[in-house]
Amino acid sequence: MARSLFPEDRLELAVRYAGLLADAGVVRGLIGPRETPRLWTRHLLNCAVLGEAIPEGARVCDVGSGAGLPGLVLAIARPDLEVTLLEPLLRRTTFLSEVVEELALERVEVVRGRAESLHGTRRFGVVTSRAVAPLGRLLEWSMPLVAPSGSLVAMKGSAVAEEIDGARDVLAGLGCAAPEPLVLGADSLAETTMAVRVSWADPSAVSWRAAAAPGGRRPKGRGPAGQRGSRSRGDRGS
């Protein structure tokens, strides 16, 4: 199953990443010890199929990356992507940076900060997340990072329809198009992955939305503890 989702020359990297999650990831409290027996089925493969919804060569920002799910998995499975792992907690960004260096992952950077710290400064073709927040709040954090022709692609559970319904006001207020529920991994997983894709309703009118926080207030660009987001690069060749 893993061979169908990871290129042959990248599968070893996925195995090594799983080993780091099961070791340092558990020791540092980034993943529960009960999750180790199902790292592949519940986490790596579950995240890898998100690549079905991401176009070739996209610039991806993984908001609240945590232990690298789904961002690191996508970087391993899809070397064509340029991936930014955005995470506010130091112990998590330290782990992410160590994994990027250990696996010599190219086109990957680790940025310590909250989504708001990048509002008005950077935009991406795809913004991903997994188990970060309910859809309404996630849209407020993530859509200002989405390029005019890009989209939010967030992993969600079986209650995705209810989350969409509960986020109607936020969707309308931000100027988003109708959300698209996605069922991923139907041809490769025993249990499919649910996600939702949200794009802009009018890409030509995005510039002011992407540069301002919800409610029209320009964010202060502060990360955790009142500090600006800091960046740690992996092997990006620059």
Structure confidence by residue, pLDDT tens digits, 149-172: 999 999 999 899 999 999 999 999
Q: How far apart are CA 42 and CA 153, in angstroms?
A: 18
**Token code pair at residue 75:** 């970087």
One-letter amino acid at 22 equals A
pLDDT digits 0-9 by tens, 175-189: 999 999 999 999 888
Whether 131 is in a domain gets the answer: yes
Whether 40 is in a domain gets the answer: yes
The mean pLDDT value for 33-44 works out to 91
Whether 225 is in a domain gets the answer: no
Are the CB atoms for 153 and 138 separated by under 8 Å?
A: no
Mean pLDDT of the chain: 88
Whether 150 is in a domain gets the answer: yes
CATH number at residue 169: 3.40.50.150
Banded model confidence at residue 211, pLDDT cuts 50, 70, 90: very low
Nearest one of 148, 126, 132, 18 to 80, comparing CA atoms: 126
Q: What percent of the chain has pLDDT over 90?
A: 76
* pLDDT over 90 (residue 220): no
* pLDDT over 70 (residue 93): yes
**Token code pair at residue 4:** 């169908």
Residues 6+ apart with CB under 8 A from 21: 30, 31, 36, 39, 43, 67, 68
Q: Where does 72-222 show beta strands of DSSP type E?
A: 82-87, 108-112, 124-130, 146-156, 180-184, 193-199
More confident residue, 173 or 215: 173
* pLDDT over 70 (residue 233): no
More confident residue, 214 or 105: 105
**Token code pair at residue 39:** 């790292």
Look up the pTM and report it.
0.87
Whether 46 is in a domain gets the answer: yes
- Model pLDDT, residue 231: 54
Whether 26 is in a domain gets the answer: yes
* pLDDT over 70 (residue 212): no
Whether 233 is in a domain gets the answer: no
Structural domain containing residue 198: 2-216
The domain tally of the chain equals 1
Whether 139 is in a domain gets the answer: yes
* pLDDT over 90 (residue 217): no
pLDDT digits 0-9 by tens, 104-134: 998 999 999 999 999 999 999 999 999 899 9
* pLDDT over 50 (residue 57): yes
- Model pLDDT, residue 227: 34
